[in-house]
Structure 1
């Protein structure tokens, strides 16, 4: 993998990742104002969680027509976010970031009239990852070579972003499908570098600690070992297992765990990366063909924090869809949104069987 670093017209970094040497010397010809990020973090003292306030994102690009897509390569008639005429995988700093390294530091100590709601600058980094220059292609159709390049890019970005002073966790993810809330239809994902450990990660690590104290064993290892021989396995190979979790929250949810315990993507070796691509494309094809139209989904990498808890963590990917049946979505209504108690409309064992039965060849 070859990386080329350039700058966009407003100073943001853009990175080209290619399988072989490709000259990358196109210049961004647009007249762009400097990016101004006014994000701030507000601490919810009752829940013990940080909330990011990024009101400047209201003006971000929303569902442009295909011929106005900002993620397609530039042409002589139209300049986009990618100056080159073609590309393989591209990463660039989001123009409308929730978190940024150059965020304004001028924030008060607390929210107005709320002394327990501590305020901090919205420090971090938000990157866009374009998987292909082809506007109408989806991840499931990338092929093994391009998908493997994307995995290598996720790992490279995780390693680099983890080295930024103040970053506590790196989160690569993909939102796919308008039903999920995607505002740009071009095949892409994002990477967030948070200045705190996310609530989900903290909760998982607390469960691991309780299990070790009670049993002396590794909770991740116990759960994964049980699932690998259970009725909810969707697909598996020498290095990975993909299964529907026993207490899955979403109508369709699959978790991917490597056989070897590793903390994050950079720790995967070549064989494990190849094997993940094989399994992931297989399950994505099942998601695409399970119903009359491809399911929208979120693909969410659960990586170890940059510092604390790394020795306890087991890297895994969550792939889930909020579609419960053709033409029907699972809405997070009163119980889920109000109390955080998920009530699922599907049975995990039935979902695993339904996904296994999908013909992918």
Structure 2
């Protein structure tokens, strides 16, 4: 069973699939993403694989309309992005710059191909890391969902960006970047991108990555910007992992513009939501966060940004980074 169910109260689609409950949980003696498995074979460096427990499919059956509630075909694609043949790496900072650039190029190529598919409205590229997040397989990997709708959070971002552009004649994200570059929350920057903790952070060590050039999709990045994105992804993850001298569990999302329509006021960006507030303390999204979508920030963002900068300086030379830490 695969279907989309519409929540008329929030204006949000819910993806429903019975097959996802069959996902394996951290198998000990077998990894489906390692070279030589049935799915991967040999001789590759990065891979885009079909998710065997996909909630979306381009072959999803059509649905009959019934009653008050609205349902739709769960049409689309769920894929796994296998980032390296090496099983025992922990995070992106352990990839070489060359290997990380290949991952970014895979993101770009997948975006390019799916933009041509008339069934796809939006591509969500994301990464879950750590048992605390619920990651079922430990081999380094990300995920891609090609969606037939624009997610609610993205629609809110689009609405605010559109309104700001109408009022002020400027990109909201470009203005945010301009403001952040003036302050004390910038963690790292290279020629093409900036890593910073936003003024409005929700999570204790939340960081964002913005391109300095105003672009909407990964496909618009040139070769130098592609390498710089690989560089800053390594620095971002290395900084988070150095913060408490342990692997940081997190969720990472890449936000591109939707495929259908025109969004010149939108700006490509990446957000990391780290789960820890201290070495052995998790920041839980509880009552006010889940119930009202309103976050409380336990601390002072500028103080936590300072800790992130110190962590960045620790890994800067190790990663042979291309940019600079303030």
| TM-score category of the 2 structures, normalised to the smaller one | over 0.9
2:80 to 119, 128, 141: 128
CA deviation profile, 1:195-220 (whole Å, cap 9, x unmatched): 01111111011111222233333222
Question: C-alpha separation between the residues in 2 aligned to 1:309 and 1:198?
Answer: 16
2:40 to 67, 82, 96: 82
Instruction: Indicate whether 1:69 and 2:31 are aligned.
Output: yes
CA deviation profile, 1:152-171 (whole Å, cap 9, x unmatched): 00000011112111100111
Could you tell me how far 1:342 is from its partner in structure 2? 1.1
Instruction: Name structure 2 gaps, 5 residues minimum.
Output: 319-326
Question: C-alpha separation between the residues in 2 aligned to 1:125 and 1:340?
Answer: 28
The SS at the match of 1:311 is coil
Could you tell me how far 1:96 is from its partner in structure 2? 0.7
For normalisation by structure 1, the TM-score amounts to 0.84
Alignment-derived partner of residue 9 in structure 2: 46
CA contact (8 A) 2:165 2:265 kept: no
Question: C-alpha separation between the residues in 1 aligned to 2:64 and 2:277?
Answer: 44
**Taking CA–CA contacts closer than 8 Å with sequence separation of 6 or more, which of the two structures ends up with the larger relative contact order?**
2
Question: C-alpha separation between the residues in 2 aligned to 1:235 and 1:83?
Answer: 38
CA contact (8 A) 2:121 2:150 kept: yes
Alignment-derived partner of residue 324 in structure 2: none
CA contact (8 A) 2:171 2:266 kept: no
1:206 to 152, 159, 177: 159
CA contact (8 A) 2:26 2:137 kept: yes
The SS at the match of 1:50 is strand
Could you tell me how far 1:92 is from its partner in structure 2? 1.2
Let me know the Cα RMSD of the aligned residues: 1.3
Question: C-alpha separation between the residues in 2 aligned to 1:271 and 1:171?
Answer: 23
Could you tell me how far 1:309 is from its partner in structure 2? 4.0
2:227 to 269, 274, 279: 274
Could you tell me how far 1:53 is from its partner in structure 2? 0.8
For normalisation by structure 2, the TM-score amounts to 0.93
Question: C-alpha separation between the residues in 1 aligned to 2:115 and 2:206?
Answer: 28
Instruction: Name structure 1 gaps, 5 residues minimum.
Output: 1-37
Greater radius of gyration (CA)? 1
Instruction: Indicate whether 1:151 and 2:104 are aligned.
Output: yes
Could you tell me how far 1:276 is from its partner in structure 2? 1.5
How many pairs align?
313
CA contact (8 A) 2:172 2:265 kept: no
The SS at the match of 1:287 is helix
Alignment-derived partner of residue 322 in structure 1: 275
Instruction: Indicate whether 1:140 and 2:93 are aligned.
Output: yes
